[in-house]
Structure 1
Amino acid sequence: PTGWSTSLLSFLKLTSNENFFAMKACFIIASLLAIASTNLAWARTLAETDSAEVALDGRIVGGYTVDITAHPHQVSMRLKDVLTPEESYSHNCGGSIYSTYLVVTAAHCVMGNVASEYQIVAGANEKRSVNGVVVPVKEFIIHEQYNPNIYNNDIALVVLGAPLPINNVTIKAIPLADKPSANGAISVITGWGSLIEGGTSPDLLQEVKVPIVSNE
């Protein structure tokens, strides 16, 4: 994809057994809505003027509960709680498994944060569950052209400190798009975002279908 550095492409070749360039068209709105967001489901409010900032809203309004086997690529990114016991973590954002050592998420989720304070939980329906597979985070690689004001290129790679045990049932790499999706096409988003405006986020994994909307 345009904008990724040569060093990043080289890194991906070394850390994944899959062909990274098969992802050439996956970083489109359809895939990003499914894999990279606050609680894995964010709503973008785009203003009419070029100077206006984009507001993020971690919601998955109209969603319904699904089992992790319906979306085994889904992971919970959990951040260490500084005001609680040392080993206490809470859900911070969602992400999707790309390979055994790589997860894809939104850049705004990890920008300015310390990778070692995160852990990834895979194979779990509940955002507070400790029954899934827990792996440490080694590094964040943020898109070099990420714009935090308008959220262009809002994507990042999460490099894991241990491999995910892919079983293709509850833990599986996401099948990515191989061509651009049309504006207005229906996509599926999943995560633990709040179901109503101002509401609390659910404990169980949610799914909702939404149309793709261009930010241009």
Structure 2
Amino acid sequence: MNRRRERLVGGEYAEFNEYPWVVALLLKGHYYCGGTLISDRYVLTAGHCVRGVNVKSLKVMVGEHMRSFPIETRSKAYQAVHYVVHPNFNHSNFESDIALVKLSDKVPYKWYARPACLPLPKRDYVGQLGLVAGWGRTTEKGEPSDLLKEILVPIFSNAGCRQLRYSDHEISDNMMCAGFTKGGTDSCHGDSGGPLMIRGKDKKVTVIGLVSWGEGCGRQGFPGVYTRVEKFLPWIEENTRDSCYCGSRTGRGL
């Protein structure tokens, strides 16, 4: 299977600063992956986005919306000073595809730059509509989007996902699937590491997944596959103790 490693097809443009926690990862000044601000010093992203990357070449754009005109959105580039990839990350099957990036300075929370919340353990999101936001390709062979885009995708149970065109062993319990069985709407190249989110009744947004991999972009029978954030909460907390989270010091945020 030709799995996309960079991983929005379909969807709409997001409102200005609608997702102030969605960040852009820049490698030598070029956008290549997404991420989520989860505290005043840390960004959550996919392991395959940063493993093997020279941290001195890695910057994070916070408060980004239009990539070609960053001054309009008050975005700021933060130098990455350290990153940690989950020790169980496997590049061949994208198991435990999660990483944390530490920023050079604390991010002052503003209306255009603030963190998303982490999920509570053992919450069931099956059947709900998840939100994905990013600057990835708008078609499988197209160019990255200049403006931040958003899509709504239904969340599958893992059992339901395994009954589609993925084989049983490809979808582990540390992953989750979201998308349409008919295809057409999906995360795509350049969206990797970005968030799969749920908006609660209180309007608070929780990041429950990270764009990880899939077969092409928006292909029938192949929904996007995401890292299941809830499975990694202890690891996240252990590696981000020197920062403040959304709503609480525990990182639960709800």
The answer to whether the superposition gives a TM-score over 0.5 is: yes
Tell me what 2:40 maps to: 100
Match 1:186 to one of 118, 129, 136: 129
Matches within 5 A, 1:76-91: 76-80=24-28, 89-91=29-31
Tell me what 2:77 maps to: 134
Q: How much does 1:63 deviate?
A: 1.8
Is this contact kept in 1: 2:6–2:49, CA < 8 A? no
Is this contact kept in 2: 1:75–1:122, CA < 8 A? yes
TM-score normalised to structure 2 length: 0.57
Q: How much does 1:126 deviate?
A: 1.6
Q: String of CA shifts for 1:165-196, please: whole Å, max 9, x gaps.
A: 211x1101112221433444321110011122
Counterparts of 2:16 and 2:58, CA distance in 1: 21
- Matched letter for residue 106 of structure 1: A
Q: Is the partner of 1:69 in helix, strand or coil?
A: coil
Say which is worse superposed, 185-194 or 175-184, in terms of deviation. 175-184
- Matched letter for residue 64 of structure 1: E
CA-atom RMSD in angstroms = 1.8
- Matched letter for residue 170 of structure 1: Y
Q: How much does 1:118 deviate?
A: 1.0
Is this contact kept in 2: 1:68–1:124, CA < 8 A? no
Match 2:118 to one of 145, 155, 176: 176
Q: Aligned residue pairs: how many?
A: 155
Q: How much does 1:67 deviate?
A: 2.8
Tell me what 1:112 maps to: 52
Is this contact kept in 1: 2:43–2:102, CA < 8 A? yes
Matches within 5 A, 1:1-12: none
Q: How much does 1:112 deviate?
A: 0.8
Matches within 5 A, 1:193-204: 193-204=136-147
- Matched letter for residue 171 of structure 1: A
Are 2:151 and 1:208 equivalent residues in the alignment? yes
Q: String of CA shifts for 1:103-156, please: whole Å, max 9, x gaps.
A: 000001011111110111111212344421111100110011111111111110
Percentage of identical aligned residues? 28
Are 2:69 and 1:69 equivalent residues in the alignment? no
Is this contact kept in 1: 2:6–2:32, CA < 8 A? no
Is this contact kept in 1: 2:86–2:96, CA < 8 A? yes
Q: Is the partner of 1:91 in helix, strand or coil?
A: strand
- Matched letter for residue 60 of structure 1: L
Q: How much does 1:71 deviate?
A: 0.6
Is this contact kept in 2: 1:91–1:128, CA < 8 A? no
Counterparts of 1:59 and 1:186, CA distance in 2: 20
TM-score normalised to structure 1 length: 0.66
Q: How much does 1:199 deviate?
A: 1.1
Structure 1 portions without partners, runs of 5+: 1-52, 81-88
Counterparts of 1:205 and 1:155, CA distance in 2: 22
Are 2:61 and 1:121 equivalent residues in the alignment? yes
